[in-house]
Amino acid sequence: MGRVLVLGGARSGKSGHSEELIAVMANSPSEVRYIATSPPRVNDPEWEERIAVHRARRAPQWHTVETADVAMELRRERAVPTLVDDLGTWLTAQIDARQAWDGGPAALDDVLDDLVSAVCAYEGPLVIVTPEVGMGIVPPTRSGRMFRDLIGVLNSRLAEKCEKVVVVIAGIPLPLK
What would the 3-class secondary structure string for 74-106 be?
A: HHHCCCCCEEEECHHHHHHHHHHHCCCCCCCHH
156 is in an annotated binding site: no
R_g of the chain computed on alpha carbons: 15
36 is in an annotated binding site: yes
Taking only the tens place, the pLDDT of each residue in 107-159 is 899 999 999 999 999 999 999 999 999 887 889 999 999 999 999 999 999 99
The answer to whether the CB of 136 falls within 8 A of the CB of 149 is no
Name the residue range of residue 54's domain.
3-175
Task: Give the burial string for 65-84 (b: 16+ CB within 10 Å, else e).
Answer: bebbbbbebbeeeeebbbbb
Distance set, CA 7 to CA 20, 35, 73, 87, 168 (Å) = 15, 16, 21, 10, 6
Taking only the tens place, the pLDDT of each residue in 5-38 is 999 998 899 999 999 999 999 988 789 999 999 8
CATH of the domain at 26: 3.40.50.300
Domain count, the chain: 1
Secondary element (H or E) of residue 7: strand 3-8
pTM of the full predicted structure? 0.93
**Known catalytic residue at 63:** no
68 is in an annotated binding site: no
Catalytic residue selected from 16, 47, 54, 159: 54
**Confidence at residue 60, expressed as pLDDT on a 0 to 100 scale:** 84
